Amino acid sequence: MKGNGDQTMRTISFAQATLEAMEEEMTRDGSVFVMGEDIARQGGIFGQFKGLPDKFGKERVIDTPISETAIVGAAIGAALAGMRPVADMHFADFMGVCFDEIFNQMAKIHYMFGGQKSIPMVLRAPDGMINQAAAQHSQSVEAFFAHIPGLKVVIPSNPADAKGLLKAAIRDDNPVIYFEHKGLFSMKGEVPEGDYVTPIGKAKVVRQGKDVTLVSYSMMMNHAIKAADELEKDGISVELIDLRSVSPIDEETILNSVAKTTRLVIAHEAVKRCGVGAEIAALVAEKAIDCLDAPIVRVGSPFTPVPFARILEKEYRVTTDTIVAGVRKVFA
């Protein structure tokens, strides 16, 4: 099948798409290498690095001790020395262990050195809820890092953007955090063959609509699409925006959409309080409040740790039905 620009499209999984991105970038640029726990021995906890040691050797696919601080610190040093490291965090939840390295070193060295040095590195961070992974292995923490100047934060929702955003992140001269939802690794979708990048900081209008703007990203984008299908049956035309990047946020695409639809709903899996949805709501309130015909609605998880018990986990989850209910509020 042909896609845009006559590129051949194949159906592959999210994990395969990220693996392709790694293989292509490591082949293209000898300064790219990957490091983390169980990368070479196991191929990554979700199999997203399988086969890389055979192709590139263990000097470029490096197993590390169980120390996130050491992993990120070593990656920063390698980036300062002219390499392009990709450091895997195993689970995004573990980024708290190395927060000083991210917050005070990775994000700030370029500024503290007066722009004389860059930190071209990527942190890959599997995040989000899967079945009964509980409070310490299920969190969505993208808003923490979107608040830090000096970092770019990307968060794909589908295999094509998973590949394109990872390639863009590796090529970027700034530090990029690449969140990849654990529940998406097995998701299949059409991915162009060959070289392409998805621009960082540019949202995608997934579906044109006229009645309400629905902004989402990552796993929730797939629920948002289903919600829009359900609402269409009732004659509600939803304009869908996939953020793809939460820092920088594509303000222009959001504001243009709200000016057209006059209603806004933001949905994400992270807790609603102080989340990315709050930032987008503030943006629209400050710059486009006169366009709105209804209050802004945010959809997110409750302000509690992610529960382990199945019955509580079910109640905690943001679902297609949760998003549908949120959209209906702006028409009440």
- Give the active site residues: 137
Decide: residue 278, CB within 10 A, 0-12 exposed, 13-18 middle, 19+ buried: middle
Is the separation of the CB atoms in 323 and 222 below 8 Å?
no
Helices (H) and strands (E) in the chain, counts: 13, 14
Handedness of CA 304, 309, 315, 318 (dihedral sign): positive
Distance CA 280, CA 238 (A): 17
Distance CA 227, CA 76 (A): 41
Q: Classify each residue of 2-41 as buried b or exposed e, where b means 16 or more C-beta atoms within 10 Å of its C-beta.
A: eeeeeeeebebbbbbbbbbbbebbbeeeebbbbbbbebbe
Is the separation of the CB atoms in 140 and 128 below 8 Å?
yes
* Triad 115, 142, 145: Cα angle to 5°: 30
Query: Which residue, 259, 264, 260, is CA-closest to 290?
Result: 259
For 71, residues 6+ apart whose C-beta sits below 8 A from its C-beta are 35, 36, 37, 64, 87, 88, 89, 98
**CA distances for 78 relative to 26, 96, 187, angstroms:** 15, 21, 33
Distance CA 91, CA 251 (A): 29
The three-state secondary structure class of 262 is: coil
The owner of tokens 């293989």 is 23
Q: How many CB atoms lie within 10 A of CB 319?
A: 14
